[in-house]
């Protein structure tokens, strides 16, 4: 489909569940997260069996990414945004902290294997050098990878506006819906650019806030590292 139409469909696919499902949005996210993991495992198998034998050189990918290496900061934070500080700051059921750690390690391994196997196939400008069913598989994994965090970030943003800043629920929902539309109207239609900005600024700021929270709750623990 065309880029504007695809963007519109994607926006509707985010907005409708966000407005209609409320807290049950988390279950919706579980389904797509499971699908994402399955797709990445399939991609890794395809990479080992098909991509690597047909693409022995990694030089092209190094040249493509080198001029844009700093752009990776935001997307990396975006990809690893499943962390939670809650088990550190309050009492939670036993095993929650370990579950979060295991989830993070699993995602790092999946992303690392994917990056190594598809180096030179997905270039720095976002272009993909393969076609056919392999291209569709990569497209599908990319779409689901973007969809799942977008769902939950919409609800995180809603909680931020209502619980932290005191906005009324209706106003918070309107802001969550309006901000992406505003970005597109301003011409920010490239997802990697939007992720680079939001990930680099918003998520990095959250990271600093979490460190400050840790310092307040545990003033004598890991003081040098926190500061």
Q: Encoding tokens for residue 159?
A: 């909680």
Per-residue pLDDT of 153-166, as tens digits, reads 788 778 878 887 88
C-alpha–C-alpha distance, residues 91 and 73, integer Å: 32
Report the range of poorest mean pLDDT among 41-50, 59-68, 163-172, 197-206. 59-68
Helix (H, G, I), strand (E, B), or coil: what is residue 224? Answer: helix
Q: Report the C-alpha gap between 37 and 55 in whole angstroms.
A: 24
Torsion sign over Cα 121, 125, 126, 130: negative
The pLDDT value recorded for residue 187 is: 76
pLDDT of residue 52: 64
Q: Residues 213, 194, 69, CA angle at the centre, nearest 5°?
A: 85
Q: Are 25 and 17 in contact (CB under 8 A)?
A: yes
Please state which of the ranges 18-27, 31-40, 76-85 shows the lowest mean pLDDT: 76-85
Range name among 13-22, 23-32, 35-44, 89-98 with the lowest pLDDT average: 89-98
* SS3 of residue 181 by DSSP: helix
What's the pTM value of the predicted model, to 2 decimals? 0.63
Span 47-51, average pLDDT: 76
According to DSSP H, which parts of 95-190 are helical? 96-117, 132-159, 169-185
């Amino acid at each position: 489909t065309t880029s504007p139409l695809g963007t519109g469909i994607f926006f509707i696919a985010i907005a409708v569940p966000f407005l209609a499902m409320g807290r049950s949005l988390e279950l919706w996210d579980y389904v797509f997260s499971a699908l994402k993991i399955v797709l990445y495992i399939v991609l890794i198998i395809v990479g080992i069996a098909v991509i690597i034998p047909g693409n022995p050189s990694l030089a092209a990918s190094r040249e493509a990414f080198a001029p844009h290496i700093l752009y990776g900061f935001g997307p990396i934070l975006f990809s690893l945004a499943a962390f939670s500080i809650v088990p550190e700051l309050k009492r939670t059921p036993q095993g929650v902290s370990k579950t979060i750690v295991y989830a993070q390690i699993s995602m790092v391994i999946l992303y690392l294997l994917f990056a190594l196997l598809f180096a030179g196939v997905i270039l720095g400008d976002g272009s993909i050098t393969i076609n056919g069913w392999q291209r569709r598989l990569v497209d599908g994994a990319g779409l689901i990878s973007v969809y799942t965090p977008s769902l939950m970030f919409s609800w995180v943003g809603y909680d931020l506006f209502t619980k932290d800043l005191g906005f009324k629920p209706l106003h918070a929902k309107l802001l969550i819906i309006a901000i992406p539309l505003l970005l597109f109207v301003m011409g920010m239609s490239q997802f990697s650019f939007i992720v680079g900005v939001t990930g680099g600024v918003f998520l990095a700021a959250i990271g600093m806030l979490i460190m400050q929270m840790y310092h307040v709750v545990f003033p004598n623990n890991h003081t040098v590292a926190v500061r």
